[in-house]
Amino acid sequence: MGGKLPFEQLLKKDPSAPCTGQFYMINHHKDRRNTSIRRGPPPRQVPAAENPPWRLQRILAQSGLASRRKAEDLIRQGRVIVDGRVVTQLGLKIIPSEHRIEVDGRLLASPESKAYYLFNKPKGVLSTLQDPQGRPTIKDFLSQSRIKERLFPVGRLDWDAEGLMLLTNDGEMAQTLQHPRFQVPKTYRVKIRGIPSLDSLRRLQAGIRLPIGKKHQADWEMVKTGIDRSWLLITIREGEKHQVKNMLAAIGHPVITLKRVALGPLTLGRLAPGEMRSLTTQEIQALKGQDPTFPTY
Ligand code: URA
C-alpha cells in the first residue's frame, strides 16, 4: 500500500513538503546501543495483498513469524500443522481464515487479522480516529486508502507535529510498544529557539523534573545550528504528553517544529507527509523483537 493520498483536500495546502531524511548518528550515551538512523534505500512499497488462497509459506511470512525462506524451512521440517495434519510440502494453498494453522504447537494468528502500517502524520492532523470538533484525523487518511482492516494508531503525536505513526490492529503489539517496561526509543527531529549550551543539553541527558513531577531523560544529538535556531535529534523512552516540548522549554529552548523520525526499529525514511505503507516482514519481526515474550523463530 502506498501512494499519495489527497492530502491537499484534507488540509487545503500543498502536501509536498519535503521530507528531509538526512543521515544522522544518535549518541545513546547511556546504553551505547547502535541506534543510528540511516538514510538507507527508500521504503519498500508493499502491494496490497490479492485475495486468498495463498501458499502456506506466504501465510507464515505475512504473519510476521519468519521470512518466506525460513517459513519454507519450517514447513519442510514438519513443524507446521494445518487442521491437525503435518504439512511438509511447499505447494499447499489455503484460505487462512478457514483453517487452523499451528507452528511448533502454537496457533498462528490469521494474517488477515493482523495489519501493520507506517504513516507519516502531517501537521494539522489529529493522531486520533475521531474529533468531536470535526478537525482532520488519521481516520480521514484511512478512509481514503484501500486498507480493509480496522486500524488504530499506536501512541500519539501532537496536532502540530508530523512524522512516524504506527497503525495496526494488533492490540498486544500496541501495548508492548507503549509499555514503560520496554523503554522503546522514540526519536524526534526538533527545531528549537536559540542555541543551547552543552550544560543545558547535559541536563536533558541527566533528567529533568517536569511540573507533573516525574524526572524525564532524553538522549540528544546536535544536527546543526543557525543564527538563533538549532536542530537536534532527541530520543526519549517514555511517551508523556508534550514530553519533548516540555523538556526543551524547561531548558529555555522552546520547540518550533517537531517530527518523529523513528520508533523502535522503524524509521520514517522518505515517506512523505500523508503517505502510508505496510511494514515489511523484517520490520514486523524487528518490532516483535522489542518484546522478549513474543515467540521468535
Ligand atoms: N513530545 C512532544 O512534545 N510532542 C509529541 O507529539 C511527541 C513527543
With the CA atoms of 283, 286, 290 and 293 taken in that order, what torsion angle do they form, in degrees rounded to the nearest 10?
Answer: 110
- Within 6 A (CB) of ligand 1 lie 157-158, 161, 242-245, 258
The kind and range of the H/E element at 208 are: strand 208-209
pLDDT along the chain (297 residues), means of 10: 35 33 30 35 40 82 76 93 90 83 79 83 96 95 88 95 94 83 93 97 92 85 97 94 95 98 95 96 84 46
The domains located in the chain, with CATH, are 54-113 (3.10.290.10), 114-183+265-297 (3.30.70.580), 185-263 (3.30.70.1560)
Ligand 1 pocket test, pick from 189, 237, 244 with the greatest ligand atom count within 8 Å of Cβ, gives: 244
Q: Give the distance (Å) from ligand 1 centre to CA of residue 289.
A: 25
73 has catalytic annotation? no
Which atom of ligand 1 is closest in space to residue 239's alpha carbon?
8
CA 246–ligand 1 middle distance (angstroms): 9
Q: Which of 14, 131, 140, 158 is catalytic?
A: 158
Query: What is the position in ligand 1's atom list of the atom closest to the CA of 245?
Result: 3
Q: From 219, 266, 213, 210, select the one nearest 243 (Cα to Cα).
A: 210
pLDDT at residue number 146 = 87
Rounded alpha-carbon distances, angstroms, from residue 174 to 10, 52, 77, 95, 162: 27, 27, 32, 26, 20
Say whether pTM exceeds 0.75. Answer: no
Question: Looking at ligand 1, which atom is closest to the CA of residue 158?
Answer: 6
Rounded distance from Cα 258 to ligand 1 centre (Å): 7
User: Of all protein residues, whose CA lies closest to atom 2 belonging to ligand 1?
Assistant: 242
